[in-house]
């Protein structure tokens, strides 16, 4: 999987740089999302990995994508087809979205709680996290009754475990030492 990420990175960076220059980030996200879904399709995947010629791969992909992809997007797909990289589109999309989030100084934060988080709590938590992380925060809230009470907050490499389950686990570890 890391090999695919390495292969996808320069394509994602090139597409991202072009999208920023053209002021078309959202358009490129839509196009890459659609093309990545096409690349994930089992039929298309089988066709492309079966030794299809570059011309046939281009034709297939451009016909399937149709009007969902503009002329610059079509050129990008042609380039990927020429380099036999169409199957890497899902990883290119992933890298592109990471570059977009970094550019827009946005971070996605996963919040796990024992019960549903209210809208007021989301607003308060989002404001506190924006202040701490110095970025726009997008919350993804999950419910896991197993944590008993409190929150587990994950933002990239940072994890804040304020759950009762986590505190009990840390206490048990301390007592066993």
Q: pLDDT, tens digit, for every residue of 52-83?
A: 777 887 888 888 888 899 999 999 999 998 99
pLDDT digits (tens, 9 = 90+) for 80-129: 989 989 889 999 999 999 999 889 998 999 999 999 999 999 999 999 99
Strands 106-113 and 151-155: antiparallel
Domain spans, the chain:
2-102, 105-176
Do the beta carbons of residue 165 and residue 147 sit within 8 Å? yes
Confidence of residue 5 (pLDDT cuts 50, 70, 90): confident
For residue 162, the Cα-to-chain-centroid distance in whole angstroms is: 26
Residue 1 has pLDDT above 60, yes or no: no
* Second CATH level (architecture) for the domain 2-102: Orthogonal Bundle (1.10)
Do the beta carbons of residue 28 and residue 68 sit within 8 Å? no
Do the beta carbons of residue 103 and residue 20 sit within 8 Å? yes
Other beta carbons within 10 angstroms of residue 39's beta carbon come to 23
Could you give the 3-state DSSP secondary structure of residue 135? coil
pLDDT digits (tens, 9 = 90+) for 158-168: 999 999 999 99
Q: What is the pTM of this model?
A: 0.72
């Amino acid at each position: 999987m890391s090999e695919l990420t390495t292969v996808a990175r320069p394509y994602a960076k090139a597409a991202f740089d072009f999208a920023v220059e053209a002021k078309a980030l959202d358009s490129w996200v839509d196009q890459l999302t659609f093309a990545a879904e096409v690349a994930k399709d089992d039929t298309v995947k089988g066709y492309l990995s079966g030794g299809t010629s570059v011309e046939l791969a281009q034709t297939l992909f451009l016909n399937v994508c149709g009007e969902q992809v503009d002329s610059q997007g079509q050129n990008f797909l042609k380039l990927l087809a020429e380099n036999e990289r169409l199957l890497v589109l899902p990883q290119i999309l992933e890298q592109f979205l990471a570059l977009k989030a970094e550019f827009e100084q946005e971070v996605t934060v996963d919040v796990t709680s024992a019960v549903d988080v209210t809208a007021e709590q989301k607003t308060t938590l989002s404001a506190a996290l924006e202040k701490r992380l110095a970025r726009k925060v997008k919350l993804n809230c999950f419910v896991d009754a197993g944590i008993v009470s409190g929150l587990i907050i994950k933002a990239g490499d940072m994890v804040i475990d304020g759950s009762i389950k986590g505190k009990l686990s840390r206490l048990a570890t301390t007592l066993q030492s």
